[in-house]
Chain A
Amino acid sequence: MDVIIESLPQYWDGFLRTLFLAVVSGIFALIFGTLLAAARVSPIAALRGFSMAYVEVVRNTPLTIAFFFAAVVLPRLGVTFQQFEVAAIIALSAYTSAFIAEAVRSGVNSVPVGQAEAARSIGMKFSQVLSLIILPQAVRTVIPPLINILIALVKNSSVAGAFYVLELFGYGKQLANDHGDAVMWVLVGVAFFYLLITVPLGYLANVVERKVAIAR
Chain B
Amino acid sequence: MSSVLYDVPGPKARRVSLIGSVIGVIVIGVLLVLAVMTLAQQGIFEGRRWAIFGQADVWTLIANGIGATLSAAAVSAVVAFPLGLVLCLMRISDVAWIRIPTRIVLEFLRGMPVVLMMLFVLLVFATSSFIAVVAGLVLYNSAIFAEIIRAGIQSLPKGQREAGLAIGLTSFQSRLTIELPQAIRRMLPSLVAQLVVLLKDTSLGYIVAYGELLRAVQVMADFLGPQFLFPVFFVAAAIYIAINLAVSRIAIMIEKRGSKKAAGGMAHVPVAGTAPAK
A residues adjacent to B (C-beta < 8 A): 40-41, 43-47, 50, 56-57, 59-65, 68-69, 72-73, 76-78, 108-109, 111, 113, 116-117, 120, 126, 129-130, 134, 151, 155-156, 158-159, 161-162, 169, 172-173, 176, 183-184, 187, 190-191, 194-195, 198-199, 202
Bound-state CA distance A43–B7 (Å) is 9
Contact of A191 among B6, B20, B22, B116 (CB under 8 A): B116
Min C-beta distance of A148 to chain B, whole Å = 10
B9 within 8 A of A: yes
Q: Does B201 lie within 8 Å of A62, measured CB to CB?
A: yes
Find chain B residues with CB under 8 A from A50 CB. Answer: 24, 28
Contact of B237 among A69, A159, A194 (CB under 8 A): A69
Find chain B residues with CB under 8 A from A195 CB. Answer: 108, 111-112
B residues adjacent to A (C-beta < 8 A): 1-2, 4-7, 9, 13, 17, 20-25, 28, 38-39, 41-42, 44, 107-108, 110-116, 119-120, 123-124, 196, 200-204, 206-207, 214, 217, 226, 229-230, 233, 236-237, 240-241, 244-245, 248
Find chain B residues with CB under 8 A from A120 CB. Answer: 4-7
Contact of A73 among B4, B116, B204, B230 (CB under 8 A): B230
Say whether, besides A76-B230, A183-B123, A159 and B207 are in contact (CB < 8 Å): yes
Q: Does A45 lie within 8 Å of B17, measured CB to CB?
A: yes
Bound-state CA distance A173–B42 (Å) is 34
Bound-state CA distance A68–B232 (Å) is 12
Q: Does A169 lie within 8 Å of B116, measured CB to CB?
A: yes
In the complex, the chain B residue whose C-beta lies closest to that of A129 is: B5
Please name 11 further chain A to chain B contacts, defined as beta carbons within 8 Å, in addition to the given A46-B24, A116-B4, sorted by A numbering. A45-B21, A47-B21, A60-B241, A60-B248, A61-B241, A64-B204, A65-B237, A73-B229, A111-B1, A162-B115, A172-B116
Q: Does A46 lie within 8 Å of B5, measured CB to CB?
A: no
Min C-beta distance of B273 to chain A, whole Å = 15
Q: Does A68 lie within 8 Å of B214, measured CB to CB?
A: yes
Contact of B120 among A47, A129, A187 (CB under 8 A): A187
In the complex, the chain B residue whose C-beta lies closest to that of A177 is: B123
Q: Does A65 lie within 8 Å of B240, measured CB to CB?
A: yes
Say whether, besides A46-B25, A126-B5, A77 and B111 are in contact (CB < 8 Å): no
Bound-state CA distance A108–B2 (Å) is 9
Find chain A residues with CB under 8 A from B226 CB. Answer: 76
A-B contact pairs, 29 of them (CB 8 A): A45-B21, A46-B21, A46-B24, A57-B241, A60-B248, A61-B240, A62-B203, A62-B240, A62-B244, A64-B214, A65-B214, A65-B237, A68-B217, A73-B233, A77-B38, A78-B41, A78-B42, A113-B4, A116-B4, A120-B5, A126-B5, A126-B6, A155-B114, A161-B115, A172-B116, A183-B124, A184-B124, A187-B120, A194-B116
Find chain B residues with CB under 8 A from A63 CB. Answer: 200, 203-204
Bound-state CA distance A44–B229 (Å) is 38
Bound-state CA distance A69–B24 (Å) is 26
Say whether, besides A50-B24, A60-B245, A120-B7, A194 and B38 are in contact (CB < 8 Å): no
In the complex, the chain A residue whose C-beta lies closest to that of B26 is: A46
Q: Does B24 lie within 8 Å of A199, measured CB to CB?
A: no
Min C-beta distance of A197 to chain B, whole Å = 8
Min C-beta distance of B238 to chain A, whole Å = 10
Q: Does B200 lie within 8 Å of A62, measured CB to CB?
A: yes
Bound-state CA distance A69–B264 (Å) is 44
Q: Does B203 lie within 8 Å of A64, measured CB to CB?
A: yes
Q: Does A155 lie within 8 Å of B204, measured CB to CB?
A: no
Q: Does B17 lie within 8 Å of A61, measured CB to CB?
A: no
Q: Does A155 lie within 8 Å of B113, measured CB to CB?
A: yes
- A56, A109, A113, A159: which has the most chain B beta carbons within 10 Å? A159
In the complex, the chain B residue whose C-beta lies closest to that of A41 is: B2
Q: Does B230 lie within 8 Å of A169, measured CB to CB?
A: no
Min C-beta distance of A103 to chain B, whole Å = 14
Say whether, besides A77-B39, A194-B111, A202-B110, A65 and B7 are in contact (CB < 8 Å): no
Q: Does A134 lie within 8 Å of B21, measured CB to CB?
A: no
Min C-beta distance of A146 to chain B, whole Å = 17
Bound-state CA distance A146–B230 (Å) is 34
Say whether, besides A43-B17, A47-B24, A155-B112, A72 and B1 are in contact (CB < 8 Å): no
Find chain A residues with CB under 8 A from B214 CB. Answer: 62, 64-65, 68
